[in-house]
Structure 1
Amino acid sequence: MRIALLGGTGDIGQGLALRWAYDTNHEVVIGSRDPEKAREKANEYETELSSLGVDRSINGFANEMAADRADVVVLAVPPYHARDTVETVADRLDDVDVLVTPAVGMDRDEDGFHYEPPSAGSVTELVAGAVPEDVPVVGAFHNLSADRLADLELELEQDTLLVADDGDAKETVRMLAEGIEGLRALDAGGLANAAEVESVTPLLINIALNNEGMHDVGVTFE
């Protein structure tokens, strides 16, 4: 399966790219608005994997080229770039693709981080409203520590919550998520539940900021 990480040069994109390249045989492609930056980062990821004894080829392209012919496209971009990025690659998507969004709208003040959803209700629903009608959207990976993902010597032992209205698309992302060692995917319902899932992220960041030794805090459900 070909996974395109648009904005794959950032924190969450890096973590997911490294984990999928390290733990699975899926083809990983890095996308960016700047194709040279995408290629540089792809080379960095290859070097890091090589240092751990894993020989993988990772390519970098402009976002449009990365999304082209991908089976799963991950919008690893900040929430304020989500709609623009979707519109940029919309003509490269069709009904056999799955679009995944891990973005969360947040604001910060002197007390910490706070959930700040867009008018659509959640970033996931915002993305769903921007894609071509036949392209399924799955919200996933919102609550994961990007730093923990990117450190391949650390065990994850965390859960990620999935929201989607398309059952087949959700199952595809569940399979991809659980291909990452130590990551469990749990069904949190349809897209209407995305706000509840996304709002956990600022809570986790506030816990990490206020408690020593919890920099990479995540969630598990029992």
Structure 2
Amino acid sequence: MRLALLGGTGDFGEGLALRFARDTDHEILIGSRDPERAREAVTAYEDTLETHGASGSIKGFTNEMVADRADIVVLAVPPYYVGDTVDAIADKLDGDTILVSPAVGMKRDENGMHYHSPPAGSTTELVANRAPAGTPVVGTYHNLPANTLADLETEIDFDTPVVGDTDAVQMVISLTNEVEGLRGLAAGPLANAREVESLTPLVINITKYNSELDEAGVKWV
């Protein structure tokens, strides 16, 4: 399977790339608007993996190129870039490509972070509205801390709710569960995305007000 990370040169893309490259046999494709930046990121990720005695299949291209080659495409971009990114790759998507949205709209004030949903109701639903008809859209990975993912010396133990069409959800859950310390949990259809996304500012605020916690995540027991 080919997993594309659009915006894979950012902090969150780095964390996902390193975990999936280390723990799975899938080909990881790093996407960027700048192909040279994508290639530089691949070199850095390969060096990190080697330092930790691991390896993986990672390649870097433009966002459009990796979307065209992938089975699953993760929009690892900030929420304000999500719509434009989907538009840019729309002609590379079809009914066989799963589009994954981890982005969350938030606002910050003196009290902390607050959920800020777009008119569509959630960022995941915005992605579904912008994606070509027939493209399965899944929302997940919203609550995963980027820095912790990227630190391969840190063992993780996180759950991540997954919303969307049943078949696509099950495929993404299966992929997620291949990463050591990650567990995907079905959370219903896309209409439930706003509840899932709103967990993210809650997790950030709990970390803010509890200094002993280091980038807390979500775990159901």
Interval of TM-score (by shorter of Structure 1 and Structure 2): over 0.9
SS at match of 2:153: coil
SS at match of 1:59: strand
Amino acid at match of 1:14: E
Distance 1:23 1:56 in 2: 8
| 2:109 matched residue in structure 1 | 109
Structure 1 residue 179 and structure 2 residue 178: aligned?
A: yes
Tell me the alpha carbon deviations over residues 146-200 of structure 1, each in whole angstroms, 9 at most, x when there is no partner: 1111111111111000000x21111110011101101111111000000000001
Unmatched segments (≥5 aa) in structure 1:
none
Distance 2:76 2:156 in 1: 19
The CA RMSD measured in Å over matched residues stands at 0.8
SS at match of 1:124: helix
SS at match of 2:134: coil
CA contact (8 A) 2:21 2:28 kept: yes
| 1:34 matched residue in structure 2 | 34
Unmatched segments (≥5 aa) in structure 2:
none
Distance 1:29 1:53 in 2: 21
CA contact (8 A) 1:50 1:56 kept: no
SS at match of 1:117: coil
| 1:76 matched residue in structure 2 | 76
Distance 1:70 1:80 in 2: 23
SS at match of 1:64: helix
Structure 1 residue 132 and structure 2 residue 132: aligned?
A: yes
How far residue 54 of structure 1 moved from its aligned partner, in angstroms, is: 1.6
How far residue 213 of structure 1 moved from its aligned partner, in angstroms, is: 2.2
**Structure-1-length-normalised TM-score:** 0.97
How far residue 34 of structure 1 moved from its aligned partner, in angstroms, is: 1.1
Identity rate, percent: 59
| 1:207 matched residue in structure 2 | 206
How far residue 56 of structure 1 moved from its aligned partner, in angstroms, is: 2.6
Tell me the alpha carbon deviations over residues 6-45 of structure 1, each in whole angstroms, 9 at most, x when there is no partner: 0001121111110000000000010011111111111100
Point out the more displaced range, 50-59 or 203-212: 50-59
Matches within 5 A, 1:57-72: 57-72=57-72
Moved over 6 A (4+): none
Amino acid at match of 1:24: T
Tell me the alpha carbon deviations over residues 56-87 of structure 1, each in whole angstroms, 9 at most, x when there is no partner: 34111110011112000000000110010001
Tell me the alpha carbon deviations over residues 102-135 of structure 1, each in whole angstroms, 9 at most, x when there is no partner: 0000010111110000000000000000000110
| 1:98 matched residue in structure 2 | 98
**Structure-2-length-normalised TM-score:** 0.98
How far residue 221 of structure 1 moved from its aligned partner, in angstroms, is: 1.0
Amino acid at match of 1:63: N
Amino acid at match of 1:152: L
| 1:45 matched residue in structure 2 | 45
Distance 2:137 2:56 in 1: 28
SS at match of 1:44: helix
Distance 2:102 2:56 in 1: 25
Count of residue pairs brought into register by the alignment: 221
